[in-house]
Structure 1
Amino acid sequence: MFEGWHLLTNKNGKEIIWIVKGYEHPKEGFISIPYRISGNRIKSDEFSNYIPKEYYRYLDCVGRDVPVVRKDDILNYYDPKEMYFSRKNSLPEKINDLIKYLNPEYVGLIGSYAFGFQVKHSDVDLLLYGNNREIYEKLIELRNSGFISNCINRYNKVSDTMSYNSYKILSELRVLDSCYMNIPYTIRILRQIYNKECVSNYKTLNIFKGEIEIYDNSENYLVPSIYLAYSENYGKIEIMTWHTRYSELPLGKYIIEGVIQLDLKRNKLIIVPDLGGRIDPIKIWA
């Protein structure tokens, strides 16, 4: 199992659906965050309320304590690929047309549509994999042709880590979290469609807050997004994020908050804004 799969557990009579995060996992379970309890969506600031203390483990491949759902506790697995094919006919027709045009090797369905919880203006959440660069370039072509545009205000999804002005600037440039012919969708383009045991080795060093300049964003559309940047204090540094809100950043200068990690295998410094951090543009080159 890898990024986007769902798991079902039952603790004290309450069913919890979890979302698997990342591609590397320990032998005994899967790094996951809670998604729904008894059918109700769990807000990000409430995650800790539903994660048993015994699930937390320090993993070298993450560089910090993370929740690991133990295999013995898993009642059911939900394969995004199977979810897509079982619910394909219930998706908006325009979304199926979009998928056909993008022609990915792999399609997965996650989120509200996967479980029948969708309401008006719910995103269709998709995982895609294939010729990733071609998929992204096709999305850009559709935006340039007027088929993709930002049809709804989604600031409430990112207001905890982004100012409204930053949201407005960046949302107009996005094609992974937008609308196709007025149907909202979120696309996560995966780097791989398999998992492996923890092999990476990160060490969390300290907090970062300051100005950086992104000079290479050629991998800004993948999960995770990786940027090459320059910091006055650290010189050349990478930025790595699993959050859709920080994908597709254009070249330019930003104020960024996050933690600094050392990739011990590559001897590279990395800023990770996903844990209580934020990214705000100062000046972009788009």
Structure 2
Amino acid sequence: MLEGEVLFYKGLGWIVKGYQHPGDAIVAYPRYDLFTGGKLGHHELKWLTEFMKNWDCIKRNVPLVPLAEAVKPIIRMDERVAYLLSTLSKLIKSKGEEIEISGSSILASSNPRDVDVIVYNSTFETVSLLEELLNKGVIGRASEQLVITEYLEKHSSKMSLENYFKLKRDTILHFTLARAHVNVKLVARSRGYNYCVDKVEGYVSYNGFFKILERITAPLIPARYLVKVGGEIMEMESLREVYSELKPGEYYMMGGIIEERRSGRVLVPDHGVVIPK
């Protein structure tokens, strides 16, 4: 499975993380209670430790859902959400099966005002088409109020509103279509792997300045950049949508890590906070 996909297990909705998984399990985090249809609170995640296991591939404890017991849900969408996905698919000239709803939209698909969408097998052509559609006004740019709402719902505990606006200025991943606010994630892959793709040999914490020299794959996820950390040039990789549209320039990172992978040293911001200079 791939980043952002939803699976059901033990009465919960789980969000898949990343694109590499152990052979008999899936790396995924619990987010929703299927019985109440609501999001899990922090106090409800205390029992999560029973699913936490060390995966040597990434040298970290992560929640692992047994592959044999995970269920890929069949989504019965509200007709307005189905229309929105069909329209978006035609606009970006994608195949219908490559576009899925995700997040809370899975459980609340009868309310199409805020829809999380993932476009798998995205390419730079997908990015260009979205930019063209926004510039022509075919789809609407996210208003300041929509960006504030997104910030309050997902990012207010980690960064200031001012910094969030700097990160999401000129975003192409939030827009309005068919009277709905669409939050889209462009995932470059079409499938995940049930084995270790890029093994982590070790890692160290990183707090400090870094400079983005150029985008490599961003805003496609995994979003990769060429960065300078101190006097060293390395890649930075993020699976988070909020860090997939960063522009070249100076930033400060708190709570990040530098992984020693077989492929080289990689700066990873996903567990920390990136602050524009």
Shorter-chain TM-score: which interval?
0.7 to 0.9
Matches for 1:2-151 after TM superposition, within 5 Å = 2-10=2-10, 15-37=11-33, 38=35, 39-43=37-41, 45=42, 48-51=45-48, 53-74=49-70, 76-78=71-73, 83=75, 86-87=76-77, 89-91=79-81, 93-94=83-84, 96-105=86-95, 106-116=98-108, 119=111, 121-122=113-114, 124-130=115-121, 132-146=123-137, 147-151=139-143
**Structure 2 segments unaligned to the other structure (5+ residues):** none
What's the counterpart of residue 240 of structure 1?
A: 237
Alpha-carbon RMSD across the aligned residues, in angstroms, is 2.3
Identical pairs, percent? 24
Deviation readout 1:196-217 (Å, 9 max, x if unpaired): 2223211342211111110111
With over 3 angstroms needed to count, the CA separation of the structure-2 counterparts of 1:228 and 1:57, relative to structure 1, is: same
* TM-score, structure 1 normalization: 0.83
For structure 1, the residue ranges without an aligned partner over 5 or more in a row are: none
Q: Counterpart of 2:205 in structure 1: which amino acid?
A: I
Q: Secondary structure at the match of 2:165?
A: helix
Which is richer in strand?
1
User: Would the aligned equivalents of 1:158 and 1:245 in 2 still touch at CA under 8 Å?
Assistant: no
Distance across 2 between alignment mates of 1:202 and 1:221? 24
Query: Aligned pair in 2 of structure 1 residues 126, 164: CA closer, same or farther (>3 Å)?
Result: same
In structure 1, the residue matched to 2:225 is: 227
- CA distance in 1 between counterparts of 2:23 and 2:82 reads 38
Distance in 2 (CA, whole Å) between partners of 1:202 and 1:111 is 28
CA distance in 1, matches of 2:111, 2:47: 24
Number of residues of Structure 1 aligned to a counterpart in Structure 2:
265
* Cα deviation 1:16-37 (Å, max 9, x = unaligned): 1111112211122100000202
1:162 to 149, 159, 164: 159
Q: Structure 1 residues 252, 47: CA separation in 2 closer, same or farther (over 3 Å shift)? A: farther
Q: Offset at 1:50?
A: 4.3
Q: Take 1:101 and 1:121, find their aligned partners in 2: how far apart are those partners?
A: 19
TM-score by length of 2: 0.86
Deviations 1:98-138 (A, max 9, x none): 3211012311222233233564742x111213451111111
Closer, same or farther: CA 129–88 of 1 in aligned 2, 3 Å: farther
C-alpha distance in structure 2 between counterparts of 1:99 and 1:274, whole Å: 29
Q: Which moved more, 1:167-176 or 1:245-254?
A: 167-176
